[in-house]
Every structure is written in structure tokens, then in C-alpha cells.
Amino acid sequence: LGAPDRGRTNEPERFISMPRSPRTRLTPILRPMSVTATAPAILPKANDACWCGSGRKYKRCHKKSEGRVLPGVVTPMRSVPDTIARPSYAETGEVVAWDEPRIKSSDTIQAMRHAGKVAAEVLRLAGDMVAPGVTTEEIDIYVHDLFVERGAYPSTINYHGYPKACCTSVNEVICHGIPDSRPLQDDDICNIDVTGWIGGVHGDTNATFFVGDVDPESRQLVRVTEECTWYGIEAVKPGRPLSDIGRAIEDHAKKYRYGVVRAFVGHGIGEQFHTDIQVLHYYDSRASVIMRPGMTFTIEPMITLGAINFKIWDDDWTAVTADGKRTAQFEHTILVTDDEPEVLTGGEGAASPVAPWKR
């Protein structure tokens, strides 16, 4: 690029690429799009002129960022005190899987009841912190300290290199959002997913929270997603295949024409964060594993207002809907018993304690 007016105007070096007189240029200058003006309530169509007056098409200007969650700054991983026992991947970030029985011993079940309770309490307290202006990093620091105070290792820290004590997934973020410097905004929905490792086992739970005043469309999405999760839980019965869970979830989501994300699934859990069992949130006859008393797994449907196609941010973690429409999720860790399932991360004091129709 040329620097037409230098010398004559005596401008400092840094203005070389921003000349005063674009008429003298042979190549067009891309002016930065306005970041100070705010978008109108009704946005232009993709090929119409942008609302900001840049003269560019809306799709070439503000459309890409508008109304979307933008990545903030992620601070370095925080350490966990040496007094807290840690899982094997904590040092290296490498997860080495081993064979773990699908049917847990009574000792493991006892430990998982405790881990579930701790995770549930941390999730509820973290949810109480959700408000406009609070950054997801502030929530993460709180979650980290709550786990440590309870003698638990925040399972996500250094799990496959993941840097934080929880996942915070806002609006169109499906899951695995990394807490960062972005302040929550009025009308956001924010999922917090917490997992704690204590007594040698993991407890994994999440819920979607409202930030200030949330629009009715999003409120319904969150309500129905919680219902989907509990319909899935009610489908847990010994002797039945795991596919019953996905069917129950999908049937409910369909009534509202919502999408059910397929790319991320529930999982077996115990001494390991993720074991071989896969819990699909949609119906597939191939999900033929029979539920047996003593099995433990998560149910964690991600439900979308629009399509279920997804993209991953450059951080290699954050999964977002491709269409930018909102998505919600709830998660519980479940124990199959001879009769009703035991919701290890539910009960009194949990963010989603029992099925909505039972409270």
C-alpha cells in the first residue's frame, strides 16, 4: 500500500496506512467497522446495506459479530493446593483410559453420592452469582474455590489440557465454553457445567441460568430443556436399553420443533470422568446397552432453537451453533437402581432438584 501524503502533512509513521485522502489511492481502504454505535432492534437482511453507514453489505460488515458471543481474554490455569488429591491427568493433561466396571461397587457408589452432592452444591452457588456485569472468569474463580474448600479437585482443570474449573456456555455456545473476561449481559442465558473429583470419583452436573431479564423465547427454551433432561431421567429403568433415554428427550423437544444436538453425548462416569458408555439424547436403535442397577452415567441434553449444526472456535473447545441461534443444557449424574433412578447431583439444594412437574 502506498503512503500518498506523507512528507507534506508530516504525519507520524503509524498513520501510513490511514491516509487522510482516500481519493488519491488506487486500492480501496477497509475502514474498521464502527464499534461504538449500537445496532437497531430490527437488523438488515444479509445483502442490504449495513445499519452503521459503512456502505458495505450487512453480511460483510456487522452481521458476523452481531448478537453473537465474542471470545474474551482467558487467563492462565489456576493451581489447586497440594493438600487436595488429584486425578492422574492433572499433571500432564493427558488422559489415559483404563477398563472400569460399568456396574459400580457399593464403595464407589457411596463415594459418587458424595461427589454428586458436592458438585450439585457448587453448581447452585455458582448459579446464584449469575447477574449482568459478572464475568464468566469471576464465576470460574468462585467455582474453583468452592471445590477446593470442599476438598475436591475441579475435574476439568487440565483435562485434555482444558484450562478452567468449569465450562460457561453463553447463548449460542452449545458446551465447553471457556470462562473469560466477557461480562454477562442482560438477556443472556448462561450454562455452568461443574465437575468435581473427590474420594476418587467424579460428580458432573450443569444448568442454564438467566441473566437479568430474559426474552420469552429463550425462557421457553431453557424450561423445555430442563423438562427434556427429566423426561430422560424418568426413562432410566433397569432392563431397558439406553435408547429409551434419547427417545424420551427427543419426543419432548419435537413438540416445540427444537433441535437435539447429536455431536455431544452423555457418558459413563465414575473413577474416570468419561467412560465407554454413551448416552445419546436422540433416538437411535443402536443404543442397545441394557441399563443395569449399579450403572452410573450422565444425561445432559443440548437443545437448540434452530439447527443443530455446530462450529468450534479457534480455542479448539468452544462449540457454537452454526446459525448463531441459542441453545440450552441441563445435566445430572444418574445411578441406575432396582427401581427409580437415583439422581446423584439432584435433590434438595440442587439447581434442578427434581422433575419440574414434581415441585
Contact between 250 and ligand MF3 (CB under 6 A)?
no
Q: Determine, following the binding rule CB under 5 A, whether residue 272 of this chain makes contact with Co ion.
A: no
Q: Is 147 in the site for ligand MF3 (CB under 6 A)?
A: no
Q: Does 333 bind ligand MF3 (CB under 6 A)?
A: no
- DSSP β-bridge partners for residue 312: 319
> Which of 221, 173, 168 has its CA nearest to residue 322?
173
**Residue number with CB closer to Co ion (193 or 250):** 193
Q: Is 310 in the site for ligand MF3 (CB under 6 A)?
A: no
330 binds ligand MF3 (CB under 6 A): no
- Of 136, 169, 171, 195, which one interacts with ligand MF3 (CB under 6 A)? 195
Nearer to ligand MF3, 61 or 320 (CB): 320
204 belongs to the binding site for Co ion (CB under 5 A): yes
Among 58, 147, 162, 282, binds ligand MF3 (CB under 6 A): 162
The half-sphere exposure of 218 on its side-chain side, counting CA atoms within 13 A, is 20
Is the Cβ of residue 182 or residue 267 nearer to Co ion in the bound state?
A: 267
- Interaction residues for Co ion, span 307-336 (CB under 5 A): 331
Which one among 160, 240, 286, 292 touches ligand MF3, defined by CB under 6 A?
A: 160
Q: Cβ contacts of residue 2 below 8 Å, gap of 6+? A: 25, 26
**In this structure, are residues 179 and 168 in contact, taking their beta carbons and an 8 Å threshold?**
yes
Backbone φ, ψ for residue 327 (5° rounding): -145, 150
Q: List, in order, residues 6 or more apart from 96 with CB less than 8 Å away.
A: 88, 89
Q: Residues 140, 172, 180, 193: which binds Co ion (CB under 5 A)?
A: 193
Nearer Cβ to Co ion, position 188 or 193? 193
Strand partners for 319:
175, 312
Residue nearer to ligand MF3 on the CB measure, 31 or 160: 160
Select the residue interacting with ligand MF3 from 156, 169, 304, 333 (CB under 6 A): 156
Q: Is residue 137 classed exposed, middle or buried when 0-12, 13-18 and 19+ CB atoms within 10 A define those classes?
A: buried
In the bound complex, what is the minimum distance in angstroms from residue 193's beta carbon to ligand MF3?
4
Q: Is 209 in the site for ligand MF3 (CB under 6 A)?
A: no
> Which is closer to Co ion, CB of 243 or CB of 298?
298
Does residue 298 interact with Co ion by CB under 5 A? yes
Sheet holding 310-312, edge to edge: 173-175, 319-321, 310-312
Backbone angles phi, psi at 247, to 5 degrees: -65, -45
- The reply on whether position 204 binds ligand MF3 by CB under 6 A is yes
Is 331 a binding residue for ligand MF3 by CB under 6 A? The answer is yes
Closest to 98 (Cα-Cα) out of 218, 281, 322, 271: 271
Shortest distance in whole angstroms from residue 121 CB to ligand MF3: 16
Q: Write the DSSP assignment of 221-267 as a string of letters.
A: HHHHHHHHHHHHHHT--TTSBTHHHHHHHHHHHHHTT-EE--SS-EE
Q: Which one of ligand MF3, Co ion, none is in contact with 342 (Cβ closer than 5 to 8 A by kind)?
A: none
| CB contact set of 114 (below 8 Å; sequence gap of 6+) | 198, 199, 203
In this structure, the number of other CB atoms found within 10 A of the CB of residue 136 comes to 26
- What 3-state DSSP class applies to 321? strand
| Binding residues for ligand MF3 (CB under 6 A) | 156, 159-160, 162, 167, 176, 193, 195, 204, 267, 298, 300, 331
| Binding residues for Co ion (CB under 5 A) | 193, 204, 206, 298, 331
